Amino acid sequence: MSHDKLNYVERVHEQGGRMTPQRQIILDTICAIGEHTTASDIFDRVHAIATHIDRATVYRTLAFFCDLNVLVSAEIEGKTVYEIAAPTPHHHLVCRNCGHVTTLTNHHLDQFVQYLIEKHHFQPEINHLTITGLCAACQGANKD
């Protein structure tokens, strides 16, 4: 998802943040990548176009954008990956054997969220959940 569809600069300002030139370059880079990507990959691309932006700035900016829910992070195949936050939350099923990722919409968790609210009086913030297991193909391969 790109910030051509949603105004992330406005979103940052609405939440009291500042959009510095460095943050803009980092956000533009993540939008250009358009999929899950690691901090290291983001840094490599940012540094190629803006050598004055160091690794620490990239990491601080990723945390800043995650705090504002402009970005979401997930653990996939042992790596922390980042992507632009969708207008509605989504989740991932990740096969621990082959790495296949299936995306779930948020409505799949509605009953679970309602259960947590009603039975535990707990308001969960489930914005980007990753569930690891075995996909159907790998389950079938393991039966042989």
- Which of 84, 105, 129 is the last residue in one of the domains? 84
Number of domains in the chain: 2
79 shares its domain with 111: no
6 alpha carbon, distance to own chain's centre: 16
End-to-end CA distance of the chain: 40
Distance CA 131, CA 78 (A): 12
3 lies in some domain: no
Measured CA to CA in angstroms, residue 92 lies from 2, 36, 89, 127, 128 at distances of: 20, 11, 11, 11, 8
| Residue 143: predicted pLDDT | 64
- Which of 66, 84, 102 is the last residue in one of the domains? 84
- CATH classification of the domain holding 102: 3.30.1490.190
Alpha-carbon dihedral sign for residues 129, 66, 110, 101: negative
Q: Facing residues of 102 across strands?
A: 93
Full domain range(s) for residue 133: 90-142
Contacts 24+ apart (CB under 8 A), 51-56: 53/22, 53/25, 53/26
79 shares its domain with 24: yes
pLDDT digits (tens, 9 = 90+) for 56-100: 999 999 999 998 888 888 888 788 999 888 777 778 888 888 888
The residue among 4 and 46 whose pLDDT is bigger is 46
The residue among 2 and 24 whose pLDDT is bigger is 24
> Residue 1: pLDDT above 50?
no
> Residue 128: pLDDT above 50?
yes
39 shares its domain with 67: yes
The residue among 18 and 46 whose pLDDT is bigger is 46
90 alpha carbon, distance to own chain's centre: 9
Neighbouring C-alpha atoms within 13 Å toward the C-beta of 45: 15
